[in-house]
Chains A and B, each alone.
Chain A
Amino acid sequence: MLTVAGAVVRYGPVAALNGVDLTINAGERLAVLGPSGSGKTTLLRAVAGLEPLAAGSISWGGRELTGVPPQRRGFGLMFQEYVLFPHRDVAGNVGFGLRMRGDDGDTIARRVEEVLEMVGLRGYGKRRISELSGGEQQRVALARALAPSPRLLMLDEPLGALDRGLRLRLTEELDELFRSLELTILYVTHDQEEALSIGQQVAVMRDGVIDTLQPAEELWRRPATEFAARFLGMPNIVDAQIAAGEATTPWGRLPAPDATEGRWRLLLRPEGLEPAPDGPICGVVEARLFRGQRVLLRLAVAGAPPLVVHADWVSVPAIGERLCLRPRPGALAVLT
């Protein structure tokens, strides 16, 4: 079990990590999501032992790791942009950790074959790194990190450099691999779909601290903070007064049957709205972006902030047209 408590990493006067707390149980998968510069990579480097902590602690199974150099931690790290060794062939890269451990040649060769097979690169051992495509390099980097069977596998934007189609396919493959090997995973990405599909738990990072840490589905349904909601692409957040099963918002009075009474920050999910001539929210379409499966609308509502709507219904009005909407069940979420 990995425990990070109050971890602080400073680069000169800048604190890249500013008091991070998190726990990952053995066999659990945690995805860390956040904008660039939020400290995700630094968190991985600190756990790997590549950055010294200015304060706080990192421990594994109750054993404090401060002062333990990276080569003795038994963690695996797949670097962003892979950082493969250009002077060694594929097998030389994948077997590197085993060689450092002092395994004998036959054991290394067998394990390298096994891991290459696992990532779908059977027979690639003799290839040079410069001959590989981006996707193949990604697999070699994964195989290199997997080969020594690390007790914790960390991945830093492993799919970041690949095109969208490949990324979707590989997300699926990674998920399958992690599950079948029952690996303990710390997975860093700026892509919400990746984070939600890989992580059982998802932590959202912001300016060197963990903003929220929730189970993936809960994070999507009811993000705990405004920052997390906005980062997940849900910008409709306002102050609202809730009383008698109804929320009074600048957009109008909306039904809120289960909410506690009082003044709250309220999220109105963009995909949770449907057209209704007598709906409580009415406005004029100000911007319209066709995205294939759905159409993104920005609705100007008098006396209220503009409302972002992900329209998945059949006929979507054009710019300048008037539109009335009503929330579907579950469209409202109270933030803390």
Chain B
Amino acid sequence: MLVDVLSRPFVLQVAWFTLWQAAASTVLTVALALPAAYVFARFRFPGRRLLGALAIVPFVLPTVVVGAAFLALLGPRSPLNEWLETNFGLTRSPLRLEHTIWAILLAHVFYNFAVVLRIVGGVWARLDPRMGDAAAVLGAGRWAGFRHVTWPLLRPAVASAASIVFLFTFTSFGVILLLGGPRHATLEVEIYRQTAQLLNLPVAATLSLLQMTALLALLLLYSRYQERLAVVHRPSPADPARLPRGAAEWVLVGTVLAGTISLLGLPLAAMVERSLSVAGGYGPANYLALAGTAQTALFVPPAQAVVNSLVFAALACLLCVVMGLLASVVISRRRGLAGQAFDALLMLPLGTSAVVVGFGFIVGFGGLAGVLPLDLRTSPVLVPIAHGLIALPFIVRAVLPVMRSIDVRLREVAAVHGAGPGRVWREVDLPLVGRALLVGAGFAFAVSLGEFGATLFVARPDTPTMPLAVFRLLSQPGALAFGQAMAMSVVLMVVTAASVLVIDRFRSGAQGQL
């Protein structure tokens, strides 16, 4: 069965497409983000901090919002098309990118730009600028200095960022489902199609295994490569950024910033514009329709999706905090093999994809249907459980390092002063871990709000979340559904961005690894 499925030509085709689109997206993202990383690391300019913070926004957006934004910008209803049609009297939309590979690649660049900007830019900013000076004094010109000194020192960061981008784009689901059309399918999309549309569970299961194997191999490769590339260098203490000098540097900074702003800003701007656009002008009609009970493509009023999402996110968050805290205590107290094994086990959801998790849930709970008292497959509880599982690694990564860094002597002091073990934990550990826990909880909340891949499998038709609502509205024909999808996407974007901003405020004092 396994060999039979794997040797079918369409499987090879899908695997090949998954691989090369990820490679192309990675190359493109790195190529476009490197100049921005340089400009942000080395130059001071007005609005540097604000722009740096805003550049992160695309990365935290739910995939359906990214898909919707690029549909708004590049699809048949793009404001660009409208403008071209009215001004040149065209009858057909001239710009049709929505089912092309270009839309997918651009959306991936948009989504992962911040990964390269943050990782490479962070290392670049901490590179002692005197390294370049030393090379110059020893006779190296600008290019030679970059090639022989800066680039070798930057390479590990670039490799690391590129691997992460590759991993993300390899498992890309929502973006490709929305933008790829019927001709473009990654493994993720194909697993979904085989399950939901063709009801071919054996093929879907085989593809899931293939996907997991590939991901584990990638992760192994990544960690091996990471170690080999590590270069010990003392970071420079101060921010080395300076004002640009001379016309050439100002032009460079201006061009790179203009490019970055258009790449990251235009899709979102188009989405907001479309959400406000109604027949014959602009107005809030699309948003009002969301609040109303008028018949839509959904089985429930759209406002219900917002409520669902918030409730699910809160439950997932709660589940995650309890589980994450218990797991962190166990791992941090139990050194040695058992602790390590448990730690690795908890990271597994990171090494699988959301679609595989969703698929696993329905297959797994399907198998348990006769055993458990209630059939979880049809229960809405499944959604927060799935979200909690996906978000668990994040919370453990946030809490565990802080918990491990607590000085044992603090607990000893508390014990000497008469606190029992439970009291010690409440008086010492919890207050110290609190901030990291809040950050982790915020992440769990944001992850749950935007989760799409697994939700598509486990959510019941009558309890859609916001991402599902966007997806269903976009699948409907007609300007009305499209406008509402845009409005729903904007709401989802605002809620996600707000929760991430709140996290960011707490984060400054926390010391987790996220």
Contacts and interface: CB of A to CB of B under 8 A. Distances in A.
Interface of A: 12, 45, 48-50, 52, 69-73, 75-77, 79, 83, 85-87, 96-97, 99-101, 130, 144, 148
Interface in B144-192: 144, 148-149, 152-153
A79 B139 contact: no
B133 A70 contact: yes
B134 A85 contact: yes
A12 B130 CA distance: 19
8 contacts: A50-B137, A71-B136, A72-B139, A73-B137, A83-B134, A86-B234, A97-B138, A144-B138
Given A86-B233, A87-B153, A100-B144, A50 B133 contact: yes
A73 B273 CA distance: 57
Contacts of B130: 79, 83
A52 to B, nearest CB: 7
Contacts of A45: 133
Contacts, number: 70
Contacts of A75: 137
Contacts of A100: 135, 138-140, 144, 148
B429 interface: no
A45 B134 CA distance: 11
Contacts of B152: 87
Nearest to A97: B138
Given A83-B128, A85-B131, A87-B231, A148 B153 contact: no
Contacts of A144: 134, 138
Nearest to B133: A50
B231 A70 contact: no
Nearest to A156: B130
Contacts of A73: 137
Q: List 10 tightest A-B contacts by C-beta distance, closest first.
A: A97-B138, A100-B139, A70-B136, A86-B233, A77-B137, A87-B152, A83-B130, A130-B232, A71-B139, A100-B140
A70 B137 CA distance: 5
Given A86-B233, A130-B232, A76 B137 contact: yes
B153 A86 contact: yes
B127 to A, nearest CB: 10
A83 B236 CA distance: 10
A71 B137 contact: yes
Given A86-B153, A86-B231, A87-B153, A97 B139 contact: yes
B94 interface: no
A97 B234 CA distance: 22
Of the candidates A50, A76, A85, A97, the one having the most CB atoms from chain B within 10 angstroms of its own CB is A85
Given A71-B141, A100-B148, 14 more contacts: A48-B133, A49-B137, A69-B141, A71-B136, A72-B139, A76-B138, A79-B130, A83-B133, A85-B149, A86-B232, A86-B233, A87-B153, A100-B135, A100-B144
Secondary structure at chain A's binding surface: helix, strand, loop or mixed?
A: mixed
B245 interface: yes
A203 to B, nearest CB: 21
B133 A96 contact: no
Contacts of A12: 243
Given A75-B137, A76-B137, A130-B232, A83 B131 contact: yes
Interface in B233-284: 233-234, 243, 245
Contacts of B149: 85
A335 B33 CA distance: 61
B139 A101 contact: yes
Contact of B136 (A69, A85, A99, A101): A69
A96 B138 contact: yes
A48 B141 CA distance: 14
Contacts of A71: 136-141, 144
Contacts of B139: 71-72, 97, 100-101, 148
A79 B134 contact: yes
B135 A96 contact: yes
A45 B137 CA distance: 10
Nearest to B245: A52
B245 A148 contact: no
B13 to A, nearest CB: 42
Contacts of A76: 137-138
Residue among B134, B135, B136, B152 with the highest chain A CB neighbour number at 10 A:
B134
A100 B148 CA distance: 10
A81 to B, nearest CB: 8
B233 A77 contact: no
A76 B131 CA distance: 14
B231 A77 contact: no
A226 B134 CA distance: 37
A43 to B, nearest CB: 15
Contact of B134 (A72, A77, A87, A130): A77
Given A52-B245, A85-B149, A130-B232, A148 B136 contact: no
A151 B204 CA distance: 72
B445 to A, nearest CB: 40
A177 to B, nearest CB: 19
Nearest to A129: B232
Contacts of A87: 152-153, 231, 233
Contacts of B128: 83
A297 B265 CA distance: 70
A101 B144 CA distance: 11
A71 B132 CA distance: 11
B306 to A, nearest CB: 50
Contacts of A52: 245
Interface string B339-383: 000000000000000000000000000000000000000000000
Contacts of A79: 130, 133-134
Contacts of B141: 69, 71
B131 A96 contact: no
A96 B137 contact: no
